[in-house]
Every structure is written in structure tokens, then in C-alpha cells.
């Protein structure tokens, strides 16, 4: 008789109960989305509306963030943790293979999700894997909120992104409670009445 590595429920075979397996699958699917959102919340903004014109290319202001938080909760750290699990699962399952090539967090999550049947049936550390993935999820949610705030498209970015006058044009989204708009493509910040009026004024013509 085995027990589930997470909740210690008794199991006929394997190392993770069906309920915790389902949760792990869900978390692996959500982790890349959550950490993309963490990046939006914690990464220092590179440009503001003013300095994209005035000091293009110059370094932005120093981040007012607590750097400790950035060390503990970041997409980079999540990617490292998930990578180590992928490397270990692959080592146990295919000892003759070398370590997997570097891959982004989303690819490693997908790979683990695809190997989940094998992991729950044959991988003794499945409970620890599930626990660490659960911790990564909880840490991300402590930053971005739970449930994830819904974002609404409010217009297109009007920032000029190069010397040739190219306009960014990416969708600008907003979620309840945010006091400024940030373009996720070029990172221009629209903050305050003047910025918002300019943003509104320069919206491309509706083609409806
Ligand atoms: Zn369990
Ligand atoms: Zn933009």
C-alpha cells in the first residue's frame, strides 16, 4: 500500500492521489499565466510617457520595489524550480538521456503535464513536486490576487517606438483598481489626466 505524497491518503498504487494529480495538472497549466502577471506587477516600468520622448534609450528611474520580494517571487525563480523538477523526472525516467535543453517556464510546465501519468504512477517524489508547484502558485497569487483580475481592452498604445515614427499600436488593458495604464508591449505608462487625454485623442479611427 502506498500513500499520496501530498495528502497522505492511502493509494493502491502510485505516489499521488487522483485529486492532487488533477490539482497539479491545473496548476501546471496556470503557472505560466500567473507568472506573466507577476512580471507585470513587480518588474520596474521601463518608460513613462514623458521619458519615451525626452530620454529615449536612457535608463528608467530606479525601482521603488522591495528587491527581496523580487528575489523570492519572480518568473525567473519559478522557471528555475520547475526546470529542476523536469530535469529530475527526465533523469529518473530516461537515465540514458542527457539533461533537457533550456526551455521557458511554459514549455517545462507543459512537459511535466504531459508526463503526469508516469509521474503519479512511478515517480516517488511526485508529492514533493506537487507541493513545490503549489507553493509557486500560492506565491504568485499573493502578488497578483486571487482570482486573477479581469482585464479589459481600453484602447491602442500611441507611443512612438523608434526613430522612424512607428506607433506601438498594442492593446492597452485595464483592470479594476489600477490608477494607470501600462502598455505590455513597449511598457509605456499612461498616468494622469494629460496622458489619458492624449491617449484618447490619438486613438486610431474606428473602422466599424
Ligand atoms: Zn493526495
Ligand atoms: Zn505600446
Q: Which residues of 170-184 are buried (b: 16+ CB within 10 A; e: fewer)?
A: eebbbeeeeeebbbe
pLDDT at 72: 67
Per-residue pLDDT at 166 exceeds 50: yes
Task: Give 108 Cα–ligand 1 centroid separation in angstroms.
Answer: 23
Q: Are the CB atoms for 79 and 110 separated by under 8 Å?
A: no
The CA–CA distances, whole Å, from 164 to 47, 58, 60, 176, 186 equal: 18, 18, 22, 35, 15
Spell out which residues have Cβ within 5 A of ligand 2, the ion: 157, 159, 168, 170, 183, 185-186, 188
Region 128-137: what's the mean pLDDT? 96
Q: Please tell me the distance between residue 159's alpha carbon and the centre of ligand 2 in angstroms.
A: 6
pTM of this prediction exceeds 0.75: no
How much distance in Å is there from the Cα of 122 to the middle of ligand 1?
15
Flag whether pLDDT at 45 surpasses 70.
Answer: no
Proportion of the chain above pLDDT 70, given as a percent: 83
Q: What's the rounded mean pLDDT across residues 103-113? A: 96
What is the per-residue pLDDT across 134-151, written as a single tens digit (0 to 9) for each? 999 999 988 887 877 777
Distance 42 CA to ligand 2 centre (A): 18
- Name which of 165, 168, 158, 162 is nearest 199 in CA terms: 158
Tell me how far the alpha carbon of residue 52 is from its chain's centroid: 26
Ligand nearest the Cα atom of residue 166? 2
Would you list the domain boundaries of the chain? 2-47+63-144, 152-201
CA dist 84 and 162 (Å) reads 39
Mean pLDDT to the nearest integer, 172-178:
79
Question: Longest Cα pair distance anywhere in the chain, in angstroms?
Answer: 69
pLDDT at residue 199 greater than cutoff 50: yes
69: CA distance to ligand 2 center in Å? 27
Amino acid at each position: 500500500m502506498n500513500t499520496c505524497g501530498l495528502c497522505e491518503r492511502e493509494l493502491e498504487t502510485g505516489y499521488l492521489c487522483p485529486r492532487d494529480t488533477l490539482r497539479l495538472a491545473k496548476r501546471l497549466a496556470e503557472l505560466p499565466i500567473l507568472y506573466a502577471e507577476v512580471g507585470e506587477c513587480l518588474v520596474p516600468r521601463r518608460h513613462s510617457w514623458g521619458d519615451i520622448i525626452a530620454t529615449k534609450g536612457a535608463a528608467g528611474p530606479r525601482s521603488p520595489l522591495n528587491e527581496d520580494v523580487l528575489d523570492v517571487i519572480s518568473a525567473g525563480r519559478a522557471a528555475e524550480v520547475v526546470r529542476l523538477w523536469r530535469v529530475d523526472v527526465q533523469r529518473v525516467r530516461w537515465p540514458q538521456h542527457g539533461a533537457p535543453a533550456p526551455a521557458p517556464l511554459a514549455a517545462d510546465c507543459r512537459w511535466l503535464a504531459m508526463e503526469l501519468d508516469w509521474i503519479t504512477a512511478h515517480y516517488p517524489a511526485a508529492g514533493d513536486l506537487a507541493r513545490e508547484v503549489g507553493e509557486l502558485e500560492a506565491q504568485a497569487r499573493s502578488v497578483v490576487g486571487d482570482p486573477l483580475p479581469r482585464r479589459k481592452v481600453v484602447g491602442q498604445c500611441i507611443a512612438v517606438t523608434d526613430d522612424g515614427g512607428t506607433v506601438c499600436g498594442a492593446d492597452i488593458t485595464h483592470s479594476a483598481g489600477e490608477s494607470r495604464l501600462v502598455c505590455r508591449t513597449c511598457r509605456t505608462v499612461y498616468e494622469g489626466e494629460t496622458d489619458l487625454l492624449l491617449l484618447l485623442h490619438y486613438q486610431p479611427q474606428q473602422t466599424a
